[in-house]
Structure 1
Amino acid sequence: MVPVGRKLFRAHSRKHLTGATGEFSNPNLQRARKPRDMPLATHQILNEWFVDRFGVAYREKSLFCTGDPLIAAGYVNSDSSLILIEPVGNYSVCYSPNCKDLFGIYQFYWSTSNPSALEIRTRMDGLDFVQHQNSGLSEAAATGCEVMLFAESFRYQIC
């Protein structure tokens, strides 16, 4: 197994995988990614925050991954596989070393209340998200935190 911090992992639908290794286009470029567990209204506020801060709709257009293969493996189901993933061509990466998973922030701070957009944005401002263009993959993976990876296409290897 690859040590934590060297590569990025994710659970990915097998319908987009053509073999043990390969490439696939970013499926979120054709349609906006829908949140699996987070309310749509909160998801949209978060997405707008990322657009305002970094110019990229990370919550809708990126793929989510982590440098921790055990965390990624927790998302694998009967229709998906654990993969190593890397961008092909130009990319950007966004993460917070202070946020293991943004859904966890939602659960802890916002799930039992009805926070305003201002409250959500203020909390986001304090998480110290960073963005790298065409660099920063190792740094992002080393955090073991949720990483949002934006590119037109990706190379993968099934673990």
Structure 2
Amino acid sequence: MKLYRGFKNLPQIDTIITTRKNRKPKHLPLELHEKVDEYFFNKFGIKFRSQSVFCTGKMKSALDYGKVAIIEPVGHFEICWSPKCYDLIEIEDFNWMCKPPLKPN
């Protein structure tokens, strides 16, 4: 499967994208972002929300974030992927992760 990523400013070919250690959410509420990170860390030992490079297997989804590039991992890497959810923002009911539940906007 190819991995795609959308960029506001498309990087040069062969650019190395390093994993951030403090990524902030663009679309999810911060509280939810932190809860999901906690869940992933407890389950997998990795904070996949704040300490990862986001990619998708769907070019159309990557286009929503800008100009598209194919991403090729280099060296050791981990992937968090689900056939049930291409983008976490697609899930409408996050309250199962949040105690107490998030208040509606």
Does residue 24 of the first structure (1) align with residue 24 of the second (2)? Answer: no
Q: Per the alignment, in what secondary structure is the counterpart of residue 42 of structure 2?
A: helix
- 1:54 maps to 44
User: Among residues 65, 70, 80, which one is paired with 1:75 in the alignment?
Assistant: 65
Which structure 1 residue ranges, 5 or more long, are not aligned? 1-5, 122-159
Match for residue 43 of structure 1 among 25, 33, 48: 33
Q: Distance in 2 between matches of 1:9 and 1:84?
A: 5
Counterpart selection for 1:12 from 7, 17, 26: 7
More helix by share: 1
Aligned-pair Cα RMSD in Å: 1.8
Q: Which residue of 2 aligns with 1:149?
A: none
| Aligned residue identity for 1:67 | G
Change (3 A) 1:56 1:27: closer
Secondary structure of the 1:24 match is: coil
**1:109 matched to 2:93:** yes
The whole-number CA distance in structure 2 between the counterparts of 1:26 and 1:13 is 17
Q: Report the Cα offset of residue 47 of structure 1.
A: 0.2
Indicate yes or no: 2:97 matched with 1:120: yes
Residue identity in the other structure for 1:91: F
Deviation sequence 1:114-158 (CA, Å, 0-9, x none):
x3xxx216xxxxxxxxxxxxxxxxxxxxxxxxxxxxxxxxxxxxx
Aligned pair in 2 of structure 1 residues 40, 95: CA closer, same or farther (>3 Å)?
same
**What SS does the aligned partner of 1:88 have?**
coil
Displacement of 1:67 after TM fit? Answer: 1.3
Q: Which 4+ residue blocks in structure 1 deviate beyond 6 angstroms?
A: none
Question: What does residue 86 of structure 1 align with?
Answer: 72
CA distance in 2, matches of 1:67, 1:86: 12
TM-score for the superposition, normalised by structure 2: 0.82
Structure 2 CA distance, aligned partners of 1:87 and 1:13? 20
Structure showing the higher strand proportion among its residues: 1
Structure 2: how far apart are the matches of 1:38 and 1:83?
A: 23
